[in-house]
Amino acid sequence: MELSDKNIQFITLSRFKKSSFNRIIARWQVFNYYIQLKPELIIVNSPDLLIFSLLYRIIFGAKIIYDIQENYFRNLWYQNNYRWGLKHALAILVRAKEIIAAPLFNHFFLAEKVYSNQLNFIRNKFTILENKSLVPEKINSSVLNKTSPKFLVSGTIAYEYGILEAIKFFKSIIKIYPKATLIIIGHCPNKLLYIKLELIHKSNPSIKLKISSDPIPHAHIKIEILQADIGLMPYLPNESTQGKWPTKVYEYMAYKLPFILQENSVWNNYIISNNVGKPFDFINQSQEQSLSIWECLKSTTFYTKINPSEIYWSTQEAKLLSAVNNCLNN
């Protein structure tokens, strides 16, 4: 664990793959911990744990907050991490569990403002806690390497998040700047994409892979952010991400890493007005456009306007504590 505290006890479950029987066993493990620890409040942040958490509430009367970090129905339905048919069945199953369980929840945490419009079952019992960043111990160097730049794609690696568009952009840059590198680090759940990226890496050694079929420790990602010159966020339009605000925007801003983000009306004005990066059309990019945006980046001084209060998690702490206290006292 990266963090420790005398008042916090971390309990690690047995490792399992997402499509294994051990995933079901892990749910029983959690339920047994509930019985041993006798919590007054349970904050559930996975659909996997809904049934067992509610079972504990029914038997022992604990308060429950459902921490909705994703619109799980949309992720399953519109992304391609499962085969056609199966993903639709899983999406319906997850949403059915959420709707059935909703009346028994005391409160909801929402990681995105847009979820308040997308999720009818939450009614008005919610608090929006955006995925903002902790204050980093170090920040990125303000000196941009203009001859051998290091580009970074981090986080979940998926077709829907534009990884192939990022690679296309980088290939345009490397034709003129042969010493440039692209680091791709993160969790790649799609097996076919994983294989495709390995093949791309073998034919393009300047594209360096640090991906895994399991989640990557965040400490490893932080190291790459500190060493990068430019972050790439080529999110493709998709129903699963419609209206969402990329968590990496806050993270990269906290580390003062300039970035190029897919053009989108949700965030274009914010990115430009705060001078933290540049919007770019990764979908319809040409080599000339890619080189043009890079030349623009080279001549820009970033992070001269940003208000730190808009970046850090501390702005969300009071809302979280207030919601927890209200839940426990009502």
Closest CA to 254 of 218, 279, 280, 286: 218
- Above 60 in pLDDT, residue 1? no
Query: Which pair of structure tokens corresponds to residue 281?
Result: 């059309």
Note the pTM of the prediction, 2 decimals. Answer: 0.83
Identity of the amino acid at 159? Y
Residue 2: band (very low, low, confident or very high) from pLDDT cuts 50, 70, 90: very low
Architecture, CATH, for domain 22-132+313-329: 3-Layer(aba) Sandwich (3.40)
Mean per-residue pLDDT, 135-156? 86
Domain borders along the chain are 22-132+313-329, 150-310
What local confidence, expressed as pLDDT, does residue 18 receive? 63
What would the 3-class secondary structure string for 246-264 be?
CHHHHHHHHCCCCEEEECC
Give 72-122 pLDDT, tens digit per residue: 999 899 887 788 899 999 999 999 999 999 999 999 999 999 999 999 999
Per-residue pLDDT reduced to its tens digit, 227-274:
999 999 999 888 888 888 888 899 999 999 999 999 987 888 888 888
247 vs 155: CA distance, rounded Å: 9
What would be the CATH architecture of the domain defined by 150-310? 3-Layer(aba) Sandwich (3.40)
Place of tokens 């989640």: 215
Same topology, domains 22-132+313-329 and 150-310? Answer is yes
Question: Residue 287 to residues 83, 121, 235, 294, 298: CA-CA distances in angstroms?
Answer: 34, 46, 19, 11, 17
What would the two tokens of residue 124 be? 């008005």
